[in-house]
Amino acid sequence: MSIETIIAGVRLKNPTMNASGVTFTMPPLLNRLQKSEVGAVVTKTATKNPREGNKGPSVLQFSSDIWMNRMGLPNPGISKTIEELKEYDWNVPIVVSIGGSSLSEYFNNSKNIDIGELIELNLSCPNVSGGIICFDLNQTLNITSSIKNNVNLPVFAKLSPYTDIEKLKKTIDTLYKAEIDGITLTNTAPSLEIISILLPVNEKISNNLFKGGESGKALFGLSLRNVYEAAKYIEKNELGMDIIGVGGIETSDDVIKYILCGAKAIQFGSAAAGLYNENNLSSFEIPKKLCKGLENYMLKNDFKSIEEFRGEAYK
């Protein structure tokens, strides 16, 4: 029995990886994570220039199931990110996540990448001005096709969660046209909280809003549905794109559900962010726990490989 998986031709010893930017934001932390049982590591989204990110609290947990962040893409810039990655020896594949606010920025960032096995294009950051890129199909086609024409690494596009499945399908058609290798579904959902309604006189409520990307278990069903619909559509139309599932994954049962819905690999984000940890696990122990449960499920059902049960939910 093996829990290895192959995404866009890249072999992973198991299907787990961290979600970009949550907890494991810098190469030293990714280096520590690779010493656990993780299948691949994913960098924080890098932009052309360094960004300080937003001031004030940028990641908050509002209930056991709801996390929100408005980090504002803090990162040291693509060149420094690459330089820092090169300080370590990597024994698992690296997924380099890049962002940008224009075609030329995405393009130049992708050309800078001379380390790693996969590129993840963040087309769905909810915290930058100019809107969420994947919702603009022209821009999506221009960015993804110019990158695919100029890099040799396989490219995944990370999308927002869709409530309109027809729009998700149109986006997949667009990515297929650009020959994108796979899709990461889903990023966080744009969200709002009011931090406190108990305000001193004269203070405005509008100063007390927390706008950001929502993650955690609250996102699970929406993300899983996106993976299910995308995988079914890709299989039916023989589009040959692989899916990485992400959104609300905390337990191995969650991982199994994503695989049953068609994901070839998964990412965990909020689960590693803090207060979760029913057994006092450190964030670094999460992949081991997910893999153990996955192995037990496969043993119990006599599955020799992930491919034996992947996608069963729509077959």
> Does residue 273 bind ligand DHB (CB under 6 A)?
no
The answer to whether residue 261 is catalytic is: no
Give the C-alpha separation, 169 to 167, whole Å.
5
> Does residue 73 bind ligand DHB (CB under 6 A)?
yes
Residue 37 or 214: the one with the smaller Cβ distance to ligand DHB is 214
Residue 121 parent element (H or E):
strand 118-122
Considering only residues 139 to 168 of the shown chain, the ones binding ligand DHB according to CB under 6 A are none
Give the C-alpha separation, 44 to 29, whole Å.
11
Q: Which residue among 5, 23, 47, 69 contacts ligand DHB (CB under 6 A)?
A: 69
Distances (CA, A) of 211 to 21, 104, 159, 203: 17, 28, 19, 18
Length of the chain as a residue count: 315
Q: Which residue among 5, 23, 47, 127 contacts ligand DHB (CB under 6 A)?
A: 127
> Does residue 122 bind ligand DHB (CB under 6 A)?
yes
Considering only residues 172 to 201 of the shown chain, the ones binding ligand DHB according to CB under 6 A are 187-188
CB of 204 to ligand DHB, least distance (A): 24
Q: Which residue among 95, 125, 155, 272 contacts ligand DHB (CB under 6 A)?
A: 125
Long-range contacts for 47-52 (Cβ within 8 Å, ≥24 apart)? 47/73, 47/75, 47/77, 47/78, 47/98, 47/99, 47/100, 47/101, 47/105, 47/109, 48/77, 48/78, 48/100, 48/105, 48/108, 48/109, 49/77, 50/75, 50/76, 50/77, 50/80, 51/75, 51/77
Residue 86 or 211: the one with the smaller Cβ distance to ligand DHB is 211
| 3-class secondary-structure state, position 132 | coil
Determine contact, residues 212/68, Cβ cutoff 8 Å: yes
Residue 127 or 283: the one with the smaller Cβ distance to ligand DHB is 127
Considering only residues 202 to 231 of the shown chain, the ones binding ligand DHB according to CB under 6 A are 213
Determine contact, residues 113/119, Cβ cutoff 8 Å: yes
Determine contact, residues 241/276, Cβ cutoff 8 Å: no
CB of 122 to ligand DHB, least distance (A): 5
Residue 125 or 306: the one with the smaller Cβ distance to ligand DHB is 125
Q: Which x/- pattern over 10-49 shows residues binding ligand DHB (rule: CB under 6 A)? A: -----------x----------------------------
Give the C-alpha separation, 220 to 82, whole Å.
32
Q: Of 260, 256, 261, 282, which Cα lies nearest the Cα of 271?
A: 282
Give the C-alpha separation, 101 to 180, whole Å.
19
Choose the stretch contacting ligand DHB; rule: CB under 6 A; options: 67-75, 199-207, 231-239, 293-301.
Answer: 67-75
Choose the stretch contacting ligand DHB; rule: CB under 6 A; options: 23-31, 68-76, 243-251, 303-311.
Answer: 68-76
Choose the stretch contacting ligand DHB; rule: CB under 6 A; options: 1-9, 65-73, 100-108, 224-232.
Answer: 65-73
Considering only residues 291 to 310 of the shown chain, the ones binding ligand DHB according to CB under 6 A are none
The residue ranges that bind ligand DHB (CB under 6 A) are: 21, 69-73, 122, 125-127, 187-188, 213
Catalytic positions, written as ranges: 125
